[in-house]
Copies of this chain bind each other. A is one copy, B any other.
Amino acid sequence: MPNNKSNEALLNGSEERPYPPGRIKIAEALRVLLREKDFGAITTAEIARTAGVTEALIYKYFKDKRDLLHQVLAEYLEIYLRTTSMDLKGIKGALNKLRKIVWTHIHVYATDRVFAKILLIEARNFSDYYHSEPYKRVREYTDVLREILEEGIEEGVIRDDLSPAFMRQVILGAIEQLCLTGVVFNREISPDELTENLCDFIFKGIVKPPRK
Inside 8 A of A201's CB, which chain B residues have their CB?
Answer: 162, 166-167, 170, 205
Count of chain copies: 4
Residue of B nearest to A210 (CB): B157
- Among the listed B120, B169, B180, B206, which residue makes an inter-chain contact with A178, where contact means beta carbons less than 8 Å apart? B169
Residue of B nearest to A183 (CB): B124
Inside 8 A of A125's CB, which chain B residues have their CB?
Answer: 38, 40, 121-122, 125
A19 interfacial contact with B, CB 8 Å: no
- Among the listed B177, B197, B208, which residue makes an inter-chain contact with A176, where contact means beta carbons less than 8 Å apart? B177
The reply to whether B206 and A159 form a contact with Cβ atoms under 8 Å apart is: yes
A82 to chain B, nearest CB (A): 25
A196 to chain B, nearest CB (A): 10
Mark A15-41 against chain B: 1 for CB-CB distance below 8 A, else 0.
Answer: 000000000000000000000011011
**With A124-B184, A177-B169, A184-B130 as given contacts, are A202 and B200 in contact (CB-CB < 8 Å)?**
no
List residues 156-212 of chain A with CB under 8 A from any CB of chain B.
156-162, 166-167, 169-170, 172-178, 180-181, 184-185, 197-198, 200-208
**With A166-B197, A170-B177, A177-B176 as given contacts, are A206 and B158 in contact (CB-CB < 8 Å)?**
yes
The reply to whether A208 and B38 form a contact with Cβ atoms under 8 Å apart is: no
The reply to whether B185 and A174 form a contact with Cβ atoms under 8 Å apart is: no
Report 9 cross-chain contacts, Cβ distance below 8 Å, ordered by A residue: A40-B125, A124-B184, A159-B206, A173-B177, A202-B206, A203-B205, A203-B207, A204-B207, A205-B205
* Beyond A149-B206, A157-B208, 16 additional pairs, beta carbon < 8 A: A95-B207, A125-B125, A130-B184, A157-B207, A158-B208, A159-B208, A161-B200, A162-B197, A162-B200, A173-B176, A173-B178, A174-B174, A176-B177, A202-B206, A203-B206, A203-B207
